[in-house]
Amino acid sequence: MLHHIDRAGLQIAPELVAFVEEQLLPGLPVTPEAFWRDFAALLRELAPENRRLLEVRVEMQRRIDAWLTASRDQPWDNAAWQGFLREIGYILPEGPAFTVETGPADPEIAAVAGPQLVVPVTNARFALNAANARWGSLYDALYGTDALPGAPAGEGYDAARGAAAVAKAAAFLDTALPLSRGGHADVTGWRVENGAAIATVAGADMPLADPAQFAGHAGEGERRSLLFRHNGLHIELVFDPAHPVGAASPSGLRDVVLESAVTAIQDCEDSIAAVDAEDKVLAYANWLGLMKGDLAETFEKGGRQLTRRLNPDRSFTAPDGSTLTLPGRAVLLVRNVGHLMTTDAVLLGGEETPEGLLDAVITVAAAMHDLQKTDGPRNSRAGSIYVVKPKMHGPEEAGFADRTYAAVERMLGLPHGTVKLGLMDEERRTSANLRECIRALKDRIVFINTGFLDRTGDEIHTVMQAGPVLPKAEIKDAPWLAAYEDGNVDAGLATGLPGRGQIGKGMWAKPDAMAEMLAAKIGHPQAGATTAWVPSPTAATLHATHYHLVNVAERQQELATRERASFDALMTPPLMGRRNLSEAQIAREIDLNCQSILGYVVRWVDQGIGCSKVPDIHDVALMEDRATLRISSQFLANWMLHGIITEAQVEDSLRRMAVAVDRQNAGDPAYRPMAPGYDGPAFMAARDLILKGAEQPSGYTEPLLHAWRRVAKAA
C-alpha cells in the first residue's frame, strides 16, 4: 500500500506533494494550502460526474450488444441500426448552424498550416527535439533519408549524394519561391537592395516572381542568410562559401532551412507508460521545464557529452529595416489523458480519483509559468494554454471537458477561455455527433483531428457482437473510413474553425520510409487539413514541403462547397458478412497481429516505453503507441468471439511470435526475453489483451497494461 500525505482531506503520494510544493507552485500566485484545498473541492464537484459519464458508456454498450446479438442472423439493416442508436441517445439531434467563438489563439494554431509532432513528454530529449523542430535543414532531410534513392556512399560526406540533395531542394524552391525567370539551380549570387532580394542568373539581375515573399535577412558578408515567406511558412537560404556544401555552390548556398513543425503535442497519454505517481511526476516535471524554458537534457553522442536545451528565438532585419523576431520553437500543446482511468497518486475518501482531473490541474498550472513571462521566448504569445483532450464519447463528455477546464481556470485565477482545447475525433460516438461535440466546446476549441487506429478500435468494439469484421488491412478501404475523414473536415469548415484552430490528420507510422511519406502525405493538405502528425523532426521538414505545394486556405474554400460526407457510410460497420477466408489467410492475420501486440507490449510493460519504433513481422520499423495496440487486440478478440479463430490458435501464435520478438530485440541489453517461459508480465499482458479484449471498456488497453506494468515494476 502506498504511503500518502494528507492535504485538505486528500491523500496524496509524497512524490506528487514534493513536486507541487517545491517545483510547480513557487513563482505562481497560488499557495500550497489554496492549491490543495481548491483541488479537493474540484474533485468533489467533478469526480462523481466523471463516474456517471463512464457508466453511461457501459450502459449504452450493453444495449448495443443486446440489439446486435438479437439481430445477428438477419441481413444488415442500416436504417434500423441508426434508428436504434437514435432511440438510445447514441446519435443525437443536430442543432442549428453555429460558428465557434474561441478567443485569440497564436497564429501557429489559428492560421498557419504546417506539420505537427507528437512526442512522449516523459522523454526529455524527445520533448526538446520536438520543441526545437520548428526549423529544419531540407538538405539534411533529403541527404539522410530515402527521400533520395540509395544511401550515402563511404564513411564521410558523399559529394554526389549531396549534389542530388541540392538539386532536389532547388527544384522545390522553383515551386515555392519562383524567380521571375530561370531556376534556383542557375543562381550564382544574391544581394539585398532597397528592401528587395535579387538573385543573379547568367550575369543578370533576377527578382522574385513575387517580391513580397522576401521577409528579411541576417548576418554579414559571405556568411549570411535570406528569409522568405510562402503560404505562411518561412524558408531560409543560408550562405557560407567556406563550408564544403557552400563551396560547391556558385552562390555559396550552404543550406535551405524550412520552418517545419510549427506546433508539437507533448503527450501525457498514449505514447507514454505512466502508471503511478513516480511516472506522472516525471511527465509533469518535463512539461513544467518546457513551460519555464529551463528543461535541459545531457546525453552522450559520438563519444561526446552534449546538453540539449530549448532553442532561442531568431532575429532578422526586415525589408523596411526593422527587427523581425521569429520563434525558434514549435508552439506546444499538451495532451492530457481521457476520462477513463483513475490514479492512486491522489485519493479522496480512500478511493482513486480521475487521472484526467489531475492532469488538467497540474498541466494548466505548469503552463502559467509561460503566461507570466514578460520578456524572452514564450510558448504562447497570445496568452493561451493549449490542451488536447482525447477519447471523449459524444457531446456530453465534451461538455464535461469544457466545465472541467473552466473549473481549473477558476481554481488557478485564470481568465475564462485561457485554456484552449483540442478535440480528438477518435471515438465512434464523437464522429456520429461531431458538430454537437464542437458546439459543446465552441468557446475554447482550437483543434480537431482524425486518428484511424483508435477510431477503428472503437468501431470494432462497438459492433463487437454484430459479427466478424473485415481483415485489418481491408478496414482501411471500407466506406466508413472515407466518410469519417471527410466528415471531420466538413464539420471543421462548417463550424468556422479556419482562422481559429487546426483541422488535423493522423500519424505517418513508418519513420524510415520518407519517400513513401512524400508520395502519400500530400493527401492531408489536399484533404483540407491544416496540420498532420509526423514521427520525427526530419519527417516534419519533409512534410513541410507539402504545405508549400498546397495552399490549404484555398483548398478549404473549395471543399466548403462540396456535398456533406455520407452519414449512412459513416454508420456502416466494416463487417465481413458471409465471406469465407482461407486457412492461410486466417493464420497470417493471427500472426501479424500477435507479433504486433507482443512487439509493443513487451517494451511497454517491461521497460515503460510507451512509443517507439517497433519492427513488424517483416522487420519493418513502425511507430506504435496504444492506439496501434487497441485495434490489433480488438480485431483478434472479435474474430475469436465469432469463431473465425480459436483460443488455441491465438495461444500457439503468441508463443511462436514471442520467439520472433525476442530475436528482434536481441541487441537490447535491457530486454527480457518472453520465451521459453511465456509467463512474464509482458507476455501475460499481451495474452490478456486478446483473450479479455471483448470485455475491456470501449476496447481500451490501459486497464490491463497498467495492471501488468505495475507487476513488472514491483518485480
SS3 at position 384: coil
What would the pLDDT profile of 36-47 be if each residue is shown by its tens digit? 999 999 999 999
625 is catalytic: yes
- Sequence-distant (6+) residues with CB within 8 A of 354 are 43, 46, 47, 50, 51, 339, 341, 342, 343
Burial of 585 (0-12, 13-18, 19+ CB in 10 A): exposed
194 alpha carbon, distance to own chain's centre? 44
Q: Which of 392, 474, 476 is nearest to 437 (CA)?
A: 392
- Sequence-distant (6+) residues with CB within 8 A of 375 are none
Banded pLDDT at 303 (limits 50, 70, 90):
confident
Q: Which of 14, 47, 34, 31 is nearest to 404 (CA)?
A: 47
The confidence score (pLDDT) of residue 2 equals 65
335 is catalytic: yes
The percent of residues above 90 in pLDDT, for the chain, comes to 97
The confidence score (pLDDT) of residue 3 equals 86
What's the rounded Cα separation, in Å, for the pair 363 and 268?
10
Report residue 563 as a C-alpha cell.
456535398
Instruction: Label residue 515 left, alpha or beta by phi (over 0 means left) and psi (-120 to 50 means alpha).
Output: alpha
What's the rounded Cα separation, in Å, for the pair 423 and 401?
10
Residues 140/146/151/152 CA torsion (nearest 10 deg): 0
Neighbours of 218 (CB within 10 A): 16
Report residue 224 as a C-alpha cell.
549570411
**DSSP summary character for residue 5:** E
- Helices 277-292 & 355-371, crossing angle to 10 degrees? 20
Are β-strands 612-615 and 214-220 bridged in parallel, bridged antiparallel, or unpaired? unpaired
What's the rounded Cα separation, in Å, for the pair 425 and 70?
29
Using the structure block, give the residue that is written with the C-alpha cell 513571462.
Answer: 373
Q: Which of 268, 269, 277 is nearest to 18 (CA)?
A: 277
What's the rounded Cα separation, in Å, for the pair 667 and 609?
16
Is the previous residue joined to 211 through a cis bond, with omega within 30 degrees of 0? no
Are β-strands 314-317 and 323-326 bridged in parallel, bridged antiparallel, or unpaired? antiparallel
Q: Which of 371, 332, 378, 419 is nearest to 128 (CA)?
A: 332
What's the rounded Cα separation, in Å, for the pair 438 and 418?
17
Q: Which of 386, 533, 539, 503 is nearest to 112 (CA)?
A: 503
User: What residues does 190 pair with on adjacent strands?
Assistant: 199
Average pLDDT over residues 668-684: 97
Say which of 57, 161, 314, 335 is annotated catalytic: 335
Average pLDDT over residues 48-68: 98
What would the pLDDT profile of 240-297 be if each residue is shown by its tens digit? 999 999 999 999 999 999 999 999 999 999 999 999 999 999 999 999 999 999 999 9
Report residue 645 as a C-alpha cell.
479463430
What's the rounded Cα separation, in Å, for the pair 271 and 11?
28
Which DSSP string do the residues of 298-312 spell out, in sequence order?
A: EEEETTEEEEEEPPP
Contact 624, 633 (CB under 8 A): no
Residue type, 284: Y
Contact 519, 525 (CB under 8 A): no
The answer, as to whether pTM is greater than 0.85, is yes
The percent of residues above 70 in pLDDT, for the chain, comes to 100
Which DSSP string do the residues of 161-185 spell out, in sequence order?
A: HHHHHHHHHHHHHHHHS-BSSS-GG
In total, the chain counts a number of residues equal to 715
Minimum mean pLDDT range among 82-96, 301-315, 459-473, 482-496: 301-315
The confidence score (pLDDT) of residue 1 equals 45
- Helices 583-607 & 681-691, crossing angle to 10 degrees? 130
What would the pLDDT profile of 364-411 be if each residue is shown by its tens digit? 999 999 999 998 899 999 999 999 999 999 999 999 999 999 999 999
Average pLDDT over residues 525-541: 98
Is the previous residue joined to 676 through a cis bond, with omega within 30 degrees of 0? yes
Say which of 279, 625, 626, 672 is annotated catalytic: 625
The confidence score (pLDDT) of residue 351 equals 97
What's the rounded Cα separation, in Å, for the pair 101 and 98?
9
Using the structure block, give the residue that is written with the C-alpha cell 538573385.
Answer: 199
C-alpha distances in Å from residue 129, one per residue of 120, 182, 274, 314, 537:
11, 37, 21, 17, 7
How big is the CA angle at 52 (ends 46 and 57), to the nearest 5 degrees? 130
- Sequence-distant (6+) residues with CB within 8 A of 425 are 431, 434, 437, 448, 449, 450, 451, 455, 484, 488
The confidence score (pLDDT) of residue 301 equals 84
Neighbours of 534 (CB within 10 A): 28
Are β-strands 621-624 and 612-615 bridged in parallel, bridged antiparallel, or unpaired? antiparallel
Mean pLDDT for the chain overall = 97
What's the rounded Cα separation, in Å, for the pair 76 and 74?
6
Contact 132, 312 (CB under 8 A): no
What would the pLDDT profile of 642-652 be if each residue is shown by its tens digit? 999 999 999 99
What's the rounded Cα separation, in Å, for the pair 189 and 182?
13
Q: Which of 656, 655, 682 is nearest to 671 (CA)?
A: 682
What would the pLDDT profile of 541-594 be if each residue is shown by its tens digit? 999 999 999 999 999 999 999 999 999 999 999 999 989 999 999 999 999 999
Q: How far apart are the first and last CA of the chain?
A: 15
Main-chain phi, psi angles of 613, to 5 degrees: -80, 110
Using the structure block, give the residue that is written with the C-alpha cell 471527410.
Answer: 486
